[in-house]
């Protein structure tokens, strides 16, 4: 029985309306309204442009990347994860994604860190998730404990102030310890003594794109110090004295400033003026360090060692909530050549609620150009536009 033409037209109209409705729900929404603390727009995310592999020398997988001692092409590098036993399932999620998209081709070792011994179940199931070597390390007590110069009463009072300002994890002493360890102690672990490069991976993150070159060799062969995917603004109430303490340090050590540094990225006040004011001259821009591919020789340098020790003695890892993200980023922005900092735009990545999703046939499972799948206001937390403005896309 033929369907009458008006009915077919109505059905088509309903179908088109439904398609438009779904598009409005799922399309990337980068629209942001100006406000007292946001002056700017994101007209077009560069991830919407077709993305290929980075320029420069690239090394492909081959027999030299076989598991075990046959893997003679691998350099002194590791995948690094700070993880608790109870996070096993979330860690396996991250491992499965990274193994599928990259490490099954290159078989770099996984090094897991914990402040307590790993369970046999954790070891058994993580070993089963990779052909590569797995290593399980305990953080030394002296690297994890609260340092002796931190006043407990002052810490407790400081936590109350942080909580009044709605700072996340303010009362979790383990979070403060973690931030300090990730900032200036992880690379001092004996297990990493002979390791130069690392790829930091956290539980419950996602990787979306096939990566067909050795990222560690890319860093080495192209003279890169640090690689990131996402750059954000921090909560200024969590770090009000970080920039003033940095300026005190620079007064003592102006010789550590690099002539081609990205200081303007750190001190821009145009885009988020309230952030700049509340952080006392710091834009709060930082690389989101749950993803970082880096050369530990930078952290081991005299400049960074002196900087971290200055901050550590100031107490802000406990009296405030200084994170490894702003600490690493400030040091990189001041002490390193900005051309040695690389945006891995071709590595699709998510740590809730933010994405790096390139336009590439190698990517599956994320929406091209979408920065967040949360509320639209989260788009103003994107600090990549300022990085591109002041440092470029290297």
Q: Report how far apart the first and last C-alpha atoms of the chain are (Å, whole number).
A: 63
Going by DSSP bridges, is the β-strand pair 226-228/134-138 parallel, antiparallel, or unpaired? unpaired
Q: How far is 282 from 250, CA to CA, in rounded Å?
A: 14
C-beta neighbour count of 64 within 10 angstroms: 13
Query: For the stretch 75-100, what's the b/e string if a residue is b when 16 or more beta carbons lie within 10 angstroms of its beta carbon?
Result: eebbbbbbbeeebbeebbbbbebbbe
User: Which tokens go with 167?
Assistant: 């700072």
CA dihedral sign of residues 282, 353, 137, 98: negative
CA dihedral sign of residues 150, 155, 161, 167: positive
CA 261 to chain centre: 20
CA 148 to chain centre: 30
155 sits in which H/E element: helix 152-164
Put the strands of the sheet holding 77-82 in their side by side order: 134-138, 110-114, 77-82, 197-200, 292-295, 226-228, 341-343
Taking the CA atoms of residue 75, residue 105, residue 371 and residue 43 in that order, the dihedral angle to the nearest 10 degrees is 80
198 sits in which H/E element: strand 197-200
The active-site residue, picked from 292, 320, 336, 381, is 292
Q: With left for phi above 0 and alpha for psi between -120 and 50, is residue 304 left, alpha or beta?
A: alpha
Judge whether 116 counts as a catalytic residue: no
Beta pairing partners, 214: none
Going by DSSP bridges, is the β-strand pair 341-343/231-233 parallel, antiparallel, or unpaired? unpaired
Q: How far is 261 from 249, CA to CA, in rounded Å?
A: 16
Catalytic sites, residue numbers: 292
């Amino acid at each position: 029985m033929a369907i009458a033409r008006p009915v077919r037209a109505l059905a088509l109209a309903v179908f088109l309306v439904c398609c438009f409705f779904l598009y409005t729900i799922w399309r990337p929404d980068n629209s942001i309204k100006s406000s007292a603390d946001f002056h700017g727009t994101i007209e077009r995310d560069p991830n919407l442009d077709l993305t290929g592999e980075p320029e420069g020398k690239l090394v492909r997988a081959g027999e030299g990347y076989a598991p075990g001692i046959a893997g003679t092409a691998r350099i002194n590098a590791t995948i690094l994860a700070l993880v608790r036993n109870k996070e096993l399932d979330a860690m396996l999620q991250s491992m499965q994604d990274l193994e599928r998209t990259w490490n099954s081709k290159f078989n770099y070792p996984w090094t897991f860190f914990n402040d307590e011994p790993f369970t046999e179940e954790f070891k058994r199931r993580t070993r089963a998730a990779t052909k590569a070597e797995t290593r399980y390390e305990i953080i030394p007590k002296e690297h994890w404990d609260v340092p002796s110069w931190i006043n407990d009463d002052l810490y407790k009072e400081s936590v109350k102030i942080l909580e009044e300002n709605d700072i996340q994890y303010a009362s979790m002493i383990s979070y403060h310890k973690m931030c300090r360890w990730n900032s200036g102690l992880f690379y001092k672990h004996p297990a990493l003594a002979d390791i130069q490069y690392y790829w930091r991976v956290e539980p419950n993150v996602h990787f979306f794109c096939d990566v067909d070159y050795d990222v560690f060799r890319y860093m080495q062969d192209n003279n890169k110090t640090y690689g990131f995917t996402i750059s954000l603004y921090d909560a200024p109430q969590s770090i009000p004295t970080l920039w003033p303490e940095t300026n005190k340090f620079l007064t003592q050590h102006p010789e550590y400033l690099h002539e081609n540094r990205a200081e303007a990225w750190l001190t821009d006040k145009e885009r988020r003026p309230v952030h700049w004011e509340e952080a006392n001259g710091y834009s709060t821009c930082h690389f989101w360090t749950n993803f970082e591919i880096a050369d530990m020789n930078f952290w081991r340098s005299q400049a960074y060692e002196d900087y971290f020790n200055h901050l550590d003695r100031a107490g802000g890892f406990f009296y405030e909530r200084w994170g490894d993200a702003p600490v690493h980023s400030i040091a990189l922005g001041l002490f390193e050549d900005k051309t040695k900092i690389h945006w891995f735009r071709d590595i699709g990545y998510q740590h809730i609620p933010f994405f790096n999703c390139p336009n590439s046939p190698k990517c599956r499972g994320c929406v091209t150009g979408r920065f967040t799948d949360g509320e639209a206001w989260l788009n103003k937390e994107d600090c990549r536009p300022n990085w591109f403005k002041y440092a470029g896309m290297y």
